[in-house]
Structure 1
Amino acid sequence: MHICIITHEYPKPGFVHGGIGSFVKTLAPKLIQNGVKVTIVGLNYENEYEYVEDRGVKIYRLNYKNINKLGWYFGAKATSQKIAEIHKNDPIDVVEASELGLFCIDKIKNIKYVIRLHGGHHFFAESENRKINFWKGFQEKRSFKKADAFIPVSNYVKIHTNKFLSFNNKPVELINYPIDIDFFSPKNAVVKKHSIVFVGSVCEKKGVRQLIQSFPYIKKQFPDATLEIYGREWFYPDGTSYTTMLTEVELPKLGELSKDIYFHGLVDYDKIPEKYAMAHVCVFPSHMETQGLVAPEAMAMKKVVVFTKEGPGPETIAEYETGLLCDPFNPKDIAEKINWVFSNEAKAIEIENNARTFVLEKFSADKITKKNIDFFNSLIKN
């Protein structure tokens, strides 16, 4: 079997990638280990053509034209041409892309085209209560019509995407993101008592502002608490840094308490486990997720996680059994959940153990890889 994944987010040293990059970096080598050929085709961050291999995964990063704001068109054509070239020499069975990914891709006979639902334009427009952009909405609808099958990463993203976009009576298989349970395993690290660790993009929809606003409620009960924020920067359209806004607008409201809030910036993927390991509690109060990787990653390391109750939060955490769920729009509720963890040591240890067991059962990369292979095989045979 030969799988081609269309994405420009496969992690590249020195460049920022998001959740899709982490997902592909986990799944692709696992597919290789199970005898599946995997090729990545995407656009390069730099103005040059590049080919590299990573643990057997073949990665093509393409150079493309960006003339008169038609970069999307030339990028899609370059991607289609590369896929056709690869298919001619080493036949491809399945091409996978995200929601918008098939919009302008040329389909090849006998290849199955799959869209994995990572959270598209319609999905996040609903969750963020904003209007559908006509052009992006059109692209997404056309992309969906080209697909032969769909893989939602949570039941929530499946249901809420289907409110706006039809699966056209084609196969739909829910397959969660895989978690590398060996990479994200418990460490013999010194836990910083009453430390709160956030890992993720530092932006509004990840709930960072509300997490900061919760800090005074935490400090009243636990004066030595610290908030450690790790993640890539986000910028407004005018180029203003979101972190700058937080430090200039939100932190001054906290007065002296702000000295115990630390912005560490982007952390290398290989260093993430040690950041989880030092945490007393890991907190991810996202306004919305399709599934989210950080919560099950930290849970796999036997960490108590406070996750969002919105979206697929309840699919990831059973309240007070495998973690805690918070109202991400309510700083006081976020604080109450964190304070509960600090105040209930024995129960917290029980939750930590339950959390890893749950992740092993639901998100183990080996199990998720098998589900992907079985689904791909079913498409090929039909």
Structure 2
Amino acid sequence: MHICFLTNEFPKEGFPHGGIGSFVKTLAIALVRKNVKVSVIGINYTSNNETEVIEGVNIYRLKRSTVKGFSWYFNSKAINKKIEEINYKDRIDIVEASELGLAFIQKITSIKYIIRLHGGHHFFSESENRGINKWKGFQEKKSFKKSDGFIAVSKFVKEHTEKYLSYNNKPIVYISNLIDTNFFKPVVGNEIENRIVFAGTVCEKKGVRQLIQAFPLVKKEFPNATLEIYGRDWFFPDGSSYMQMLKEKELPQLKERAKDVHFHGSVSFVNIPLVYSEAEVCVFPSHMETQGLVAPEAMAMEKAVVFTKFGPGPEAVEEYKTGLLCNPYNPEDIANKIVWFLSHKNEARLIRKKAREFVVSKYNLENIVSYNIDFYLFLIN
């Protein structure tokens, strides 16, 4: 069996990537270990073609088009050409993409096409309280019509997406994102007392602004607390930095407490466990998630996790048993949940252990890989 993933986010040293990139890398390597051939095709971060093999995964990064207004056309053309080349040499059975990924893909009759619901344009438009962009909305609908099957990473994303888009009576299954619990595992001796850690893209929908607003309330109870923010910056349509906005508008309001808020920028995937290992509490107050990788990753390391109570939050965290859930729009509630963990060391210790047990059970790499292979074979046959 030969699986081909379409994504521009497969992790590359020195360049930022999102959760989809981390997920594809973890799944791709796990599939190779099951004797499945895997290729990954995406547009490069730089203006040249690159090919490399990472742990058996063949990665093709294609030269990015710079033709203004038509880059989508030339990028899609390059991806289609590469799919044809690879398929000619070594027949592809499955092409998998995220929601918009199949819009301009030319289907080959011998290949089955899958969309994995990571959270598309329609899905996030409602949560971000914005309208549907006609161009992106068109692409997503076009992409869905081409898919032969769908994989939803949470029950919530499946139900929420079908409010806006049709699955066209094609097969759809629910398979969680997988967590490598051998990579994300407890580390003894690294934890720093009252250290609060956020990891993810530094943007509005991840709740970073509200987390910063919650920090002074935490400091009142725990004066030596620090807030460590890890992740790539997000930019407004005019090109201005979201991170810079936080530094200029939010940090000054913290006054002397601002010195205990630290922005660390992007962190490589291999260093994420180190970041989590130093935290006493990991906080991810997202306004909306499809599933989210960061919360279960931190839980796998036996960390006290505060996650969003919205969307799939309750699917990942059981209140006061495997973690805590917060209202991500309410800084006071975020602060209260952080303070609870810092104030209840013994209870927190039990929750942390239960959290890892839950992740090992639900997001177990071996099981999740098997579920994916079963669905691939179902579509092929």
Structure 2 counterpart of 1:263: 263
1:290 aligns to what?
290
Partner residue, 1:137 = 137
SS in 2 for 1:375: helix
Q: What are the equivalent positions in structure 2 for 1:230-379 lying under 5 Å apart?
A: 230-379=230-379
RMSD over aligned Cα atoms: 0.9
TM-score by length of 2: 0.98
Secondary structure of 2:196 counterpart:
strand
- Structure 1 stretches of 4+ with a deviation exceeding 3 A read none
2:161 aligns to what? Answer: 161
**Which position in structure 2 is the counterpart of 1:77?**
77
Instruction: Return the TM-score normalized by structure 1.
Output: 0.98
Distance in 1, Cα, partners of 2:246 & 2:68: 36
Find the aligned partners of 1:312 and 1:135 in 2 and give their Cα distance. Answer: 28
SS at match of 1:197: strand
Q: CA deviation at 1:64?
A: 4.8
Deviations 1:175-219 (A, max 9, x none): 111111011000123311111111111111110110010011111
Q: State the shift of 1:49 in Å.
A: 1.1
- Tell me which amino acid in the other structure corresponds to 1:165: L
Say which is worse superposed, 106-115 or 57-66, in terms of deviation: 57-66
CA contact (8 A) 2:226 2:261 kept: yes
Shift of 1:44: 1.1
Moved more, 371-380 or 183-192: 183-192
Alignment of 1:44 onto 2:44: yes
Distance of aligned partners of 1:307 and 1:64 in 2 relative to their CA distance in 1, 3 Å threshold: closer
Q: Deviation digits for residues 217-241 of structure 1, max 9, x if unmatched?
A: 1111111111111111112222221
The question of whether the paired residues in 1 share the 8 Å contact of 2:214 and 2:334 is answered with: yes
1:89 aligns with 2:89: yes
Q: What is residue 175 of structure 1 aligned with on the other side? A: 175
Structure 1: 5+ residue runs without aligned partners?
A: none
- Matched with 2:152 is 152
Distance 1:231 1:68 in 2: 29
Residues 99 and 143, structure 2, Cα contact 8 Å, conserved in 1: yes
Q: Secondary structure at the match of 1:168?
A: coil
Aligned partner of 2:61 in structure 1 is 61
SS at match of 2:321: coil
Q: Secondary structure at the match of 1:173?
A: strand
Change (3 A) 1:348 1:72: same
| Cα shift readout 1:27-84 (whole Å, capped 9, x = no counterpart) | 0000000010000011111111111000000011112534241111111111111111
Q: SS at the partner of 2:102?
A: coil
Aligned with 2:235: secondary structure?
coil
Amino acid at match of 2:165: L
The residue type paired with residue 301 of structure 1 is M
- State whether residues 295 and 305 of structure 1, in contact with CA within 8 Å, keep that contact through their aligned partners in structure 2: yes
Unaligned stretches of 5+ residues in structure 2: none
**1 CA distance for matches of 2:4 and 2:181?**
25
Q: Alignment partner of 2:279: what SS? A: coil
Matched-pair contact (CA < 8 Å) for 2:45–2:64: no
Secondary structure in 2 matching 1:289: coil
- Per the alignment, residue 2 of structure 2 pairs with 2
Match in the other structure for 2:104: 104
Helix, strand or coil: the match of 2:244? helix
CA distance in 1 between partners of 2:242 and 2:142 (Å)? 33
Residue 25 (str. 1) matches residue 28 (str. 2):
no
The worse-fitting range, judged by mean Cα deviation, of 220-229 and 317-326 is 220-229
CA displacement at 1:138 relative to structure 2:
0.8
Asked whether the equivalents of residues 47 and 65 of structure 2 are also in contact (C-alpha less than 8 Å), the reply is: no
* Matched residue, 1:201: 201
- For residues 49 and 293 of structure 1, what CA distance do their matches in structure 2 show? 30
Structure-2 separation of matches of 1:22 and 1:190: 24
Name the counterpart of 1:15: 15
1:302 Cα shift?
A: 0.3
Q: Are the aligned partners of 1:99 and 1:143 in contact in 2 as well (CA < 8 Å)?
A: yes
Three-state SS of the structure 1 residue aligned to 2:252 is helix
> 2:13, 2:268 within 8 Å by CA — same for their partners in 1?
no
Given residue 269 of structure 1, which amino acid in structure 2 is its aligned partner? Answer: F
Which moves more between the two structures, 169-178 or 228-237? Answer: 228-237
Identity of aligned residues (%): 60
| Alpha-carbon distance between aligned partners in 2 of 1:186 and 1:368, rounded to the nearest angstrom | 21
SS at match of 2:53: strand
Structure 1 residue 85 displacement after superposition: 1.1
CA distance in 2, matches of 1:88, 1:27: 24
Hey, what's the Cα distance between the residues in 1 that align with 2:287 and 2:270?
Answer: 26
Please give the alpha-carbon distance, in whole angstroms, between the structure 2 residues aligned to 1:223 and 1:150: 48
- SS of 2:275 mapped into structure 1: helix
For the Cα contact (< 8 Å) 1:64–1:78, is it kept in 2?
no
Taking the aligned partners of 1:165 and 1:315, their CA distance within structure 2 comes to 23
User: Which residue pairs with 1:117 in the alignment?
Assistant: 117
